[in-house]
Amino acid sequence: MANVKIVESKLDIFHAPQTHSLAHAVESSFTAERGTLAWQFALIYGDVDELRQRRVSRGNCAVLEHNARFIYYLVTKSSLYDACTYDDVQAALICMREHMREHGVTKLAIPRLGCGIDRLDWLRVRSLLDLVFAEDSVDIIAFFYTPPQMVKDTLNVVCPTCRHMKTIQLPSRSVSGSRNSLHREKTPF
């Protein structure tokens, strides 16, 4: 009987074992804001121009092979400023699953897809993973790394108008309860 096994990790996705293929959500032109996970993937794995030439539409995925493992780019929105939906995530997951079946991929590392900037609920996304991979024996590690700047009392952000990095002082614990509660307000995990 096939089953999907999902394990959660608080490490950075780039600490995933080399035996695991990687996947993350992107927008269709593969543009990424500096400092985002998509930007980090572009720096590490490159080939962004090749991905753009493929003109992958929303709800599909693009795949690169890097050092004997696959890197899946799940296209969950049309532009950087769109929000992805659960339907987009599910369609992209199905596209990835088909490629995984064709190539015998049984180990996957993902971030909490759509749960950062797009504010999807992780439990619903996790349910989609269970649904999409219900007939497959797949081991998935779901990473939800908290960047170091969220652990401190300050947060580094890029100003949308001037594009300079600015440091913002987080509210004191007496106002927000704790730094962790402030983090949960900004992201649904």
| Catalytic residue chosen out of the listed positions 47, 77, 121, 186 | 77
Q: Which member of 49, 118, 136, 186 is catalytic?
A: 118
5 has catalytic annotation: no
Q: Which are the contacts of 80, defined by CB distance < 8 A and separation ≥ 6?
A: 27, 29, 31, 32, 33
Q: How far apart are CA 11 and CA 147, in angstroms?
A: 10
- Please state, in angstroms and as integers, the Cα–Cα distance from residue 123 to each residue in 1, 6, 49, 91, 189, following that order: 24, 12, 34, 17, 9
77 given a catalytic annotation:
yes
Report how far apart the first and last C-alpha atoms of the chain are (Å, whole number).
31
- The CA-based angle 135-140-146, given to 5 degrees, is 145
> Which phi and psi angles does 114 have, rounded to 5°?
70, 5
Q: Which residues are catalytic?
A: 77, 118
